[in-house]
């Protein structure tokens, strides 16, 4: 990947606004381009607020729409610096991007001005100091996004560079004014700030900011700008012929095991399974199954009590590259901790089995056997209680119990592992 980029750098110098790039999954499935989308502001930092709209909410919508669109392309990994309404400092945003090994950082904002007439799009990119190649790359992307937003009807305010009057780069040159642009450059990748219209301008509000449909169009325009700049191609091109799959089953099989099933996709060479700890979080590939006929997987590298999201995509290998129509919808499963139980012999040959409630469980199954390692039989399903009274037993006989928690899943039930076996003699 990197080598090809260096090779292409010669072209970039010759034609600054010509966007060429590299993309595509290699056969190891490592994604090529890492894009970090940064929804400006959040939490107690509202950003601009005008006309009943809050910048922090609009930028989050833009980021999510942009991510959704961008993930339709091959060979790209997209991260959000925040995926909910929370405060993240500017330094934290760039640090996270650096940890994710970002190739580019795109900060999404909405403008405001003291004069109501100011309107349209402007994009800030890194100055040419310190690391000129970062500036070149940032400008290329800024230009592509600016062009797409202007094509939607936003007024063109152009590309901009803003220097800090105080801050300097390591070589003594004037640093970029904006912290995320400056921080990104220090970390070695371009950071740009896209200002999507003005909250203080009635025309921008009416045409672009007030409704979700136009926010989505802007997010998509940003994504298409990124895709064009880096030469990404859409996964669901007609050449693939593959269709997406669908998770048909997702359940916890035991406290630390998840079982998945999905629809077979004709023509696929295999499937990639991705998992995340949150719906809009970072999905990581956990398995690559290289047979189209295998449509199930058991994930045993999970932690009890946690919630996981899964999605699956089929792929076809052609010319040494993976082509995929994209991911199935993500589905959620919550793993159940195994119950802790106690068994108490009660008068009249009764046994009381009690357990601590398991978070996420909807009911409990109680099993009994006459020996600790013998065959256990399910004797009760208990809903809304955390104990069970077993009656009509034989005096002095030994009874052994175990309990498992039951929860919901996709097209099936989620089960915890069995509790430890506890036994007593009946009184
Ligand atoms: Zn802002």
Q: What is the pLDDT of residues 389-404, one digit of tens each?
A: 999 899 999 999 999 9
Per-residue pLDDT at 231: 81
**Residues of the chain whose pLDDT is less than 70?**
1-31, 235-240
CA of 123 to the centre of ligand 1 (A): 12
Per-residue pLDDT at 19: 43
Question: What's the number of CA atoms in the CB half-sphere (13 Å) around residue 188?
Answer: 6
CA of 112 to the centre of ligand 1 (A): 8
Per-residue pLDDT at 235: 57
Q: Residues 310, 379: one domain?
A: no
CA of 47 to the centre of ligand 1 (A): 5
Adjacent-strand bridge partners of 164: none
Per-residue pLDDT at 96: 97
Nearest Cα to Cα of residue 405 among 309, 305, 310, 331? 305
Adjacent-strand bridge partners of 385: none
Per-residue pLDDT at 4: 38
User: pTM for the whole thing?
Assistant: 0.54
Per-residue pLDDT at 14: 32
What distance in Å separates the CA atoms of residue 125 and residue 229, rounded to the nearest whole number? 14
What distance in Å separates the CA atoms of residue 109 and residue 196, rounded to the nearest whole number? 6
CA of 326 to the centre of ligand 1 (A): 32
Question: Which residues, 6+ apart, have CB-to-CB distance to 162 below 8 Å?
Answer: 124, 176, 177, 178
| Position 313 in a domain | yes
What distance in Å separates the CA atoms of residue 274 and residue 263, rounded to the nearest whole number? 16
Q: Residues 136, 263: one domain?
A: no
Cβ proximity of 75 and 23 under 8 Å: yes
Per-residue pLDDT at 12: 35
CA of 76 to the centre of ligand 1 (A): 26
Per-residue pLDDT at 23: 36
Question: Which residues, 6+ apart, have CB-to-CB distance to 193 below 8 Å?
Answer: 40, 107, 109, 123, 124, 178, 180, 181
CA of 195 to the centre of ligand 1 (A): 8
Range of the domain at 179: 2-229
CA of 41 to the centre of ligand 1 (A): 6
Q: Residues 319, 413: one domain?
A: no
| Position 88 in a domain | yes
CA of 39 to the centre of ligand 1 (A): 9
CA of 40 to the centre of ligand 1 (A): 5
Helix, strand, or coil (residue 306): coil
Largest CA distance in the chain: 93
CATH code for the domain of 312: 2.60.40.10
Q: Residues 113, 262: one domain?
A: no
């Amino acid at each position: 990947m990197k080598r090809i980029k260096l090779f292409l750098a010669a072209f970039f110098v010759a034609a600054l606004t010509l966007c060429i790039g590299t993309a595509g999954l290699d056969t190891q499935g490592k994604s090529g381009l890492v894009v970090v989308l940064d929804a400006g502001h959040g939490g107690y930092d509202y950003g601009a607020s005008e006309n009943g709209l809050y910048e922090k909410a609009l930028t989050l919508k833009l980021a999510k729409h942009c991510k959704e669109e961008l993930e339709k392309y091959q060979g790209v990994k997209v991260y959000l610096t925040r995926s909910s309404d929370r405060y993240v400092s500017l330094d934290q945003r760039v640090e996270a991007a650096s940890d994710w090994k970002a190739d580019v950082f795109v900060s999404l904002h909405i403008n405001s001005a003291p004069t109501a007439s100011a309107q349209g799009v402007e994009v800030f990119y890194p100055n040419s100091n310190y690391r000129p190649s970062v500036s070149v790359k940032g400008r290329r992307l800024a230009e592509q996004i600016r062009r797409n937003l202007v094509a939607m009807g936003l007024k063109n305010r152009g590309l901009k560079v803003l220097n800090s009057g105080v801050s300097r780069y390591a070589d003594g040159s004037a640093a970029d004014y904006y912290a995320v642009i400056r921080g990104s450059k220090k970390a070695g990748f371009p950071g740009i700030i896209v200002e999507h219209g003005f909250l203080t301008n009635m025309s921008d509000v009416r045409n672009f900011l007030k409704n979700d449909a136009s926010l989505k169009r802007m997010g998509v325009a940003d994504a298409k700008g990124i895709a064009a700049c880096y030469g990404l191609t859409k996964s669901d091109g007609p050449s693939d012929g593959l269709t997406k799959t669908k998770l048909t089953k997702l359940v916890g099989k035991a406290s630390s095991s998840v079982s998945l099933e999905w629809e077979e996709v004709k023509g696929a060479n295999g499937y990639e399974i991705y998992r995340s700890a949150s719906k809009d979080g970072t999905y990581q590939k956990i398995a690559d199954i290289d047979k189209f006929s295998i449509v199930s997987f058991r994930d045993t590298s999970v932690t009890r009590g946690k919630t996981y999201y899964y999605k699956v995509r089929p792929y076809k290998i052609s010319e040494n590259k993976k082509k995929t129509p994209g991911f199935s919808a993500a589905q959620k499963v919550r793993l159940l901790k195994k119950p802790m139980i106690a068994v108490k012999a009660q008068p009249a040959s009764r046994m009381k089995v009690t357990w601590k409630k398991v978070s996420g469980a909807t009911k409990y199954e109680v099993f009994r056997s006459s020996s600790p390692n013998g065959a256990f039989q399910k004797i009760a399903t208990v809903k809304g209680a955390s104990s069970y009274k077993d009656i009509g037993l034989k005096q002095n006989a030994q009874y052994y119990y175990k309990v498992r928690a039951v929860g919901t899943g996709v097209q099936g039930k989620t089960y915890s592992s069995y509790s430890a076996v506890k036994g007593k003699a009946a009184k």
